[in-house]
Amino acid sequence: MELVNGVLRWRFRYDALLARLLSKPLRKKDYDLQLVLLIALHELNELSTPDYAIVHEAASQAQRLGKKWATGLINGVLRSYLRDREQLASSIDEDPVARFAHPQWLIDRLQQDWPEQFDQVLRANNQRPPLWLRVNLSKISVDDYLQQLGSHQMTAVRHSHALAALRLDTPMDVGQIPGFVDGLVSVQDAAAQMAAQLLAPKNDERVLDLCAAPGGKTCHLLELAGTIELMAVELNPIRMQQVQQNIERLNLQAQLIVADATDTQSWWDGRSFDRILVDAPCSASGVIRRHPDIKSLRQAGDLVELTEIQQQILQQAWCMLKPGGTLVYATCSVLKMENEQQIESLLRSNVDVEEVMIDPNWGVACRYGRQLLPGTEDSDGFYYALLKKMERRH
């Protein structure tokens, strides 16, 4: 995982290094050799394996790939890197793509949206992510769970605003986390935990969770208020199985509906909701440190389609909300077109939208809603808007 995630995280930088180190680019059919070199560069930069062992192992891959002729090439490239690494690093740093290890379009957008914070965001995206837990407050208090951790010689820190969040000081496999199997805790970033906390469901209310998989927020809503009537809608049937598994592990209950959130005719019975969570599909530009493949897979053009879907889902959700009801719109994006601009569009087409101010002690205020930037208190990047539907006047 370290090699795969590490190469994906730093690929734009390592590509730039290779471009300097190779006298001519490798042929398309030798992409496997390019990957061997990228992995070796990552090991040389970030891991403690001795340099000679990394070079030897990489060179011996040539034979394993049936390309013995490339043994000398791999050896030569990696040895030149080791000889000139400082000078090479400073020469590629002139190009922001190599310096920040992000695609140019994303650097441009972040700079446009966050002129003062963009380099801090880019650096946070290149960190290895921590492991955050959500304590199941319907079963155990955070203090009592901290004690349980202590009895296993494990330590964790709280988040200043996500009330159930604990960051483990030493990440580990979920199976080894005390109480995980019994549903005392789940794995969820502190920023993601703010969404259900902001929606603040009350027992016996009718609640809708749109775009629910893998179900982190579905379960959190039920942990906050066990007797809500919860309907969770998700388009992808395979991802919905994860919601089912999470609900079973935590022994919770919800009505799970595999459907397109925008096609309300196919699944909605016409009864409106007290509270709605819209956790919209997005660029995921706030969670790049957890999913570094986003840097390579996401393209600027994707945003057009995504922002259209976001507006459709948000508008449909608004129609299903009771007058006096509350809606949280959340994304794990830091791009304004997916966030405050979506709320602006909703306000433009509906006269009954009232923005509720979110506690100004955390995150960054946007024109509408609040943004947590990645790395703030070691959390992911997330956006939230809290909206109330005005009561009808007679």
Ligand X SMILES: C[S@@+](CC[C@H](N)C(=O)[O-])C[C@H]1O[C@@H](n2cnc3c(N)ncnc32)[C@H](O)[C@@H]1O
Return residues touching ligand X (CB under 6 A).
Answer: 211-217, 233-236, 239, 260-262, 279, 281, 309, 332
Query: Cβ closer to ligand X: 215 or 292?
Result: 215
- Rounded to a whole number of angstroms, the minimum distance from the CB of residue 231 to ligand X is 12
Cα angle: 173, vertex 176, 179; to 5 degrees: 125
- Rounded to a whole number of angstroms, the minimum distance from the CB of residue 238 to ligand X is 9
- Rounded to a whole number of angstroms, the minimum distance from the CB of residue 195 to ligand X is 7
- Rounded to a whole number of angstroms, the minimum distance from the CB of residue 272 to ligand X is 19
Decide: 118 and 111 in contact? Cβ < 8 Å. yes
Beta bridge partners of 133: 166, 187
Query: Cβ closer to ligand X: 151 or 266?
Result: 266
Decide: 97 and 12 in contact? Cβ < 8 Å. yes
Query: Cβ closer to ligand X: 107 or 196?
Result: 196
- Rounded to a whole number of angstroms, the minimum distance from the CB of residue 260 to ligand X is 4
Other CB atoms within 10 Å distance of the CB of residue 9? 24
Catalytic residue of the set 211, 219, 282, 332: 332
| 332 labelled catalytic | yes
Query: Cβ closer to ligand X: 120 or 138?
Result: 138
Say how far apart CA 312 and CA 276 lie, in whole Å: 15
Per residue in 340-364, is it b (16+ CB within 10 Å) or e — as a string?
A: bbbbeebeeeeeebeeeebeeebbe
CB-based closest residue to ligand X: 211
Helix (H) or strand (E) holding 323: strand 321-331
User: Among 176, 174, 156, which Cα is nearest to 166's?
Assistant: 156
Query: Cβ closer to ligand X: 177 or 195?
Result: 195
Which residues are part of the catalytic machinery?
A: 332
